[in-house]
Amino acid sequence: MTRKKIRIKKIDNVTARQVTFSKRRRGIFKKSEELSVLCDADVALIIFSATGKLFEFSSSRMRDILARYNLHTSNLNKLNPPPLDLQLENSNLVVLSREVEEKNKQLCHLRGEDLQGLNLEDLHRLEKLLESGLGRVLEKKGERSMDQISSFERRGAELEKENNKLRERLNMLERGKAKAFGEGEMVGIEEGTTTNLSISGSSLPLRDDCSDTSLKLALPFSM
């Protein structure tokens, strides 16, 4: 059974016309999106309803597509169109400008700015992204903290080892000084004893000689 061909003409019934407009508008928007995805094409679609309401679809920023359209139409009016490499460069410039704008917008969202155009789903996705990024930051912060603590511990062990070596050297020097001081005292004591003994030994004969001399000279002996 073949499908009956519909005659294309204005629908007189206002309600039927509005229903048909809504259905066909969604259909043409869907087809435009499929064309953009399948063929990697930039598609822009602008529709004004009978009541003057605006409906639009664009595979990228509408402003960029309109700028490319205006550039293309202005080039067609020129006798010498720009070379192909210049056209490709302009196209790449438009794409890069769009990417930079998107990245700046994402950065603003991450900083908590310009959130008016986000719905609940977008805000939930942004929250998950921030939580994931915060978790990675905390993990990296913990790793760096542990590395710094380990470095401090190693440095402390090295300083303690050096301190122990210096303490041992100081103790050895003190023991050497004490030993040298003790030997000096013993030498002094021995020298003093020898001198005293020499003096005592020599005094006795002098007294005997004196007594003998007194007797020989017949001097009176005094007690």
CA distances, 180 to each of 52, 95, 188, 191 (Å) = 114, 90, 13, 17
Q: What is the pLDDT of residue 203?
A: 45
49-53 CB contacts, 8 Å cutoff, 24+ apart:
49/21, 50/17, 50/21
Q: What is the pLDDT of residue 210?
A: 46
User: Tens digit of pLDDT for each residue in 169-215?
Assistant: 898 888 887 777 766 655 555 555 544 444 444 444 444 444 444 44
Q: What is the pLDDT of residue 60?
A: 84
Q: What is the pLDDT of residue 31?
A: 92
Q: Name residue, tokens 């003093």.
A: 192
Spans of the chain, pLDDT less than 70? 1-4, 75-87, 182-223
Structural fold of domain 12-59:
SRF-like (3.40.1810)
The Cα–Cα gap between 159 and 142 comes to 26
Residue 80 and residue 63 in contact, taking contact as beta carbons nearer than 8 Å: no
Tokens matching residue 123 = 């805000």
